[in-house]
Chains A and B, each alone.
Chain A
Amino acid sequence: MSAKREPLLAITDLHVSVEGKKILNGLTLSVAAGEVHAIMGPNGSGKSTLANVLAGHAGYEVTAGAVTFAGADLFGLAPEERSRAGLFLGFQYPVEIPGVNNVYLLKAAVNATRKARGLEEVDAFDFLTLVREKMKLMRMDDSFLSRGVNEGFSGGEKKRNEILQMLVLEPKLAILDETDSGLDIDALKIVAAGVNTLRSPERACVLVTHYQRLLDHVVPDFVHVLMRGRIARSGDKRLALELERRGYDWVTGEAA
């Protein structure tokens, strides 16, 4: 890995509140292209808040701090602009949109990004071929094309659908918010394989997770522990194993 590069994502002293309650409290994090970061932490530590704020959810108030993404001020971009710039959020609870075809949404997403980049709309046939190929990887059958977005999907199907979208959109930075939760071991392996497919020197990934087990399959370069709205400890993959063994109280104890 080259020495000092411009980070893809640079978060500096980020403070975020939800309905007046402070959730993130001076979080600083830098992610370079080619890296996979895991963010772990107990419930309520601010993991999902971080993911949602980065994607541009309106329910969060940024009270201080700065975030640059690919050199741009992230907070100057609307959610759709962030996506088109190459930021992807894999949702913890993907929402159902009844009546809207899964493949239709996916195509609209791809075309919105292409349009923003001055490209022509994707050829319908080529697109379908590409989606089918990625679906095979995610072990999803053709019925997923025409079903409503997440409509009636099981928890595991929803998560696989998120990864499918990620594979088709090929983001520069994927933030996966507890994509592993609620998955059985087979589904976990499929999801992990999907994430690994996209690993490359040009792309980065932030895995928000409770558990070490995803990290057996997607091995992170860095592991961070989030506590009370800031990063309490950083390390490599061994930190995740230690956390698994000793629990979050261990970090709390040390930090206190």
Chain B
Amino acid sequence: MSEPVKESNRQLQSLLAGGYRHGFVTEIDSDTVPPGLDEDVVRLISRKKQEPAFLTEWRLRALRHWRTMAEPHWAHLKVASIDYQGISYYSAPKSKTDGPKSLADVDPALLATYEKLGVPLHERARLAGVAVDAVFDSVSVATTFKERLSAAGVVFCPFSEAVRTHPHLIERYLGSVVPYTDNFFATLNCAVFTDGSFVYIPKGVRCPMELSTYFRINAINTGQFERTLIIADEGSHVSYLEGCSAPQRDENQLHAAVVELVALENAYIKYSTVQNWYPGDAQGKGGIYNFVTKRGECRGARSHISWTQVETGSAITWKYPSCVLRGEGSIGEFYSVATVNDHQQADTGTKMIHIGAHTRSTIISKGISAGHGQNTYRGLVKMLPSAHGARNFTQCDSLLMGGQCGAHTFPYVEVKNESATVEHEASTSKISDEQLFYCRARGIAQEDAVNMIVSGFCKSVFKELPMEFAVEAQNLLAVSLEGAVG
């Protein structure tokens, strides 16, 4: 390696050493159960949530099944062993035994936390027009814009509330996309999930605003197990935004969420995520283990599910937002930007399961690796015998910054119908010294040049994000790669 290259790598390393900006802890009393997991804990959670018997039973079936399962280790990840008996499975802010009636009832410390995160809890705040169901350590503390939504017939509430108000919908759809036997982490979630969001869009309704949930893990040693269920009835339309961050801790924290989407005939669901959980420090200590199962089913003909994710946080990200394309002519999309820096690892991608005829799917994945980060794209495109004339297009691009990171691509393709078409394009590139020099020779500072080049690389994904999220995503990307490349 020549001297100039070495030097530029050194500069890269120092520039990459940006700090995590959401690493503060909120001091409030929590109602936390002691660590450990058994049937009593599951029953306790279910009782605290005043759940109907069918749900308690479902949780217990999941727990029993989970005990027969082994932690999966097929991903391209190095995971420190997790002590599942050392985790506390329920933590709720103590003051809210009967829940806040309005923003005025919410603990001011909590509100200040959201303020720092930039969550638009106040209705006339920056992101006016966004309804927020904020989940704070498993319990939703405030839901806004309820009236306007309910006028349209839209149900948007904490999952635990939906269990009480719409038990028939829960019973019908919960676990219908991700069954309780699905995988180790999803099954664990089924047993112990505490809260999350529930959305139901009635027939023919176009949801009048973007729906948004902001998740945040606060208490020490609490796993966060949210459960989100979105049902878009025939001909309806909804765009849902999910943003995440967590405070800075030395311990690793487990986050095992499940998201299920159901799109009926002609329905459209757009699900956007900006994930900024704490990634651990520059030496790889601490950080969130983000093991998430996200799956949508295009159940009806011509239905459409679109996943967009920008993953900048977490020590480890392990998630594959997927689409089951059952309805004839249904459409699945996955647009992803995954960034790893320092010692972060990501193994992410999607599964597109084509069942119906003339189903179509598009996968655009942009992986950015810096520092010692390891970034893996793993995707499955499956064309079943019934998928006549189905089509997939996949594009996977990797961008490397510096010489110590890695990018890996594992595309799996199974085609059981001859009339189906699968296209795959892949590229790996480096932010070249020549690109940086070119920008700098035009007066643009190095960091701005890096951000510009990275944003250019991610453009085809960013343009899928709702406007307010696109700006946040670009900023987050800039922070997480702060000072990359020399």
A residues adjacent to B (C-beta < 8 A): 19, 55-61, 78-80, 82-84, 88-89, 91, 94-95, 97-100, 104-106, 108-109, 112-113, 116, 148-149, 165, 169
In the assembled complex, which residues on chain A have CB atoms less than 8 Å from the CB atom of B455?
Answer: 99-100
Using an 8 Å CB-CB cutoff, how does the interface string of B19-53 with A read, 1 for contact, 0 for none?
Answer: 00000000000000000000000000000000000
* Cross-chain contact B445 with A80 (CB below 8 angstroms): yes
A148 and chain B: residue at smallest CB distance: B456
- B446 to chain A minimum Cβ distance, whole angstroms, is 7
* Cross-chain contact B445 with A98 (CB below 8 angstroms): no
* Cross-chain contact B459 with A112 (CB below 8 angstroms): no
In the assembled complex, which residues on chain B have CB atoms less than 8 Å from the CB atom of A56?
Answer: 437, 440-441
In the assembled complex, which residues on chain B have CB atoms less than 8 Å from the CB atom of A88?
Answer: 441
In the assembled complex, which residues on chain B have CB atoms less than 8 Å from the CB atom of A149?
Answer: 438, 456
* Cross-chain contact A112 with B445 (CB below 8 angstroms): yes
In the assembled complex, which residues on chain B have CB atoms less than 8 Å from the CB atom of A91?
Answer: 438, 441
Task: Confirm or deny: B474 has a beta carbon within 8 angstroms of a beta carbon on chain A.
Answer: no
* Cross-chain contact B3 with A61 (CB below 8 angstroms): yes
Considering the complex of A and B, which 7 residue pairs feature the smallest CB-CB distances, nearest first?
A: A99-B456, A100-B456, A83-B443, A109-B442, A79-B440, A99-B459, A112-B443
Q: Which of A56, A59, A106, A165 has the most CB of B within 10 A?
A: A59
Assembled-state Cα–Cα distance A80/B449 (Å): 10
Assembled-state Cα–Cα distance A99/B452 (Å): 9
* Cross-chain contact A83 with B442 (CB below 8 angstroms): yes
Q: Which of B432, B437, B457, B458 has the most CB of A within 10 A?
A: B437
Find A95's partner among B435, B443, B446 (CB 8 Å cutoff): B435
Q: With A89-B441, A113-B443 given, is the CB distance from A58 to B435 under 8 Å?
A: no
Find A105's partner among B8, B439, B486 (CB 8 Å cutoff): B439
Assembled-state Cα–Cα distance A100/B452 (Å): 7
* Cross-chain contact A108 with B444 (CB below 8 angstroms): yes
* Cross-chain contact A83 with B441 (CB below 8 angstroms): yes
* Cross-chain contact B441 with A108 (CB below 8 angstroms): no
* Cross-chain contact A19 with B458 (CB below 8 angstroms): no
Task: Confirm or deny: B98 has a beta carbon within 8 angstroms of a beta carbon on chain A.
Answer: no
* Cross-chain contact B433 with A58 (CB below 8 angstroms): yes
In the assembled complex, which residues on chain B have CB atoms less than 8 Å from the CB atom of A112?
Answer: 442-445, 448
Task: Confirm or deny: B434 has a beta carbon within 8 angstroms of a beta carbon on chain A.
Answer: yes
In the assembled complex, which residues on chain A have CB atoms less than 8 Å from the CB atom of B453?
Answer: 97, 100
* Cross-chain contact B443 with A58 (CB below 8 angstroms): no
Could you list 28 A-B pairs, sorted by A, with CB under 8 Å?
Answer: A19-B3, A55-B441, A56-B437, A56-B440, A58-B4, A58-B7, A58-B8, A58-B486, A60-B4, A61-B4, A78-B446, A79-B441, A83-B442, A84-B443, A94-B438, A97-B439, A98-B456, A98-B457, A99-B455, A99-B458, A99-B459, A100-B456, A108-B442, A109-B439, A109-B442, A109-B443, A116-B443, A165-B442
In the assembled complex, which residues on chain A have CB atoms less than 8 Å from the CB atom of B440?
Answer: 56, 78-80, 83
Main SS class of interface, B: helix
Assembled-state Cα–Cα distance A120/B113 (Å): 34
B486 and chain A: residue at smallest CB distance: A58
* Cross-chain contact B444 with A109 (CB below 8 angstroms): yes
Task: Confirm or deny: B2 has a beta carbon within 8 angstroms of a beta carbon on chain A.
Answer: yes
Q: Which of B7, B444, B457 has the most CB of A within 10 A?
A: B444
In the assembled complex, which residues on chain A have CB atoms less than 8 Å from the CB atom of B8?
Answer: 58
In the assembled complex, which residues on chain A have CB atoms less than 8 Å from the CB atom of B7?
Answer: 58
* Cross-chain contact B441 with A59 (CB below 8 angstroms): no
Task: Confirm or deny: B183 has a beta carbon within 8 angstroms of a beta carbon on chain A.
Answer: no
In the assembled complex, which residues on chain A have CB atoms less than 8 Å from the CB atom of B448?
Answer: 108, 112
Q: With A99-B457, A108-B452 given, is the CB distance from A169 to B442 under 8 Å?
A: yes
Find B437's partner among A79, A98, A108, A113 (CB 8 Å cutoff): A79
Task: Confirm or deny: B460 has a beta carbon within 8 angstroms of a beta carbon on chain A.
Answer: yes
A84 and chain B: residue at smallest CB distance: B443
- A81 to chain B minimum Cβ distance, whole angstroms, is 8
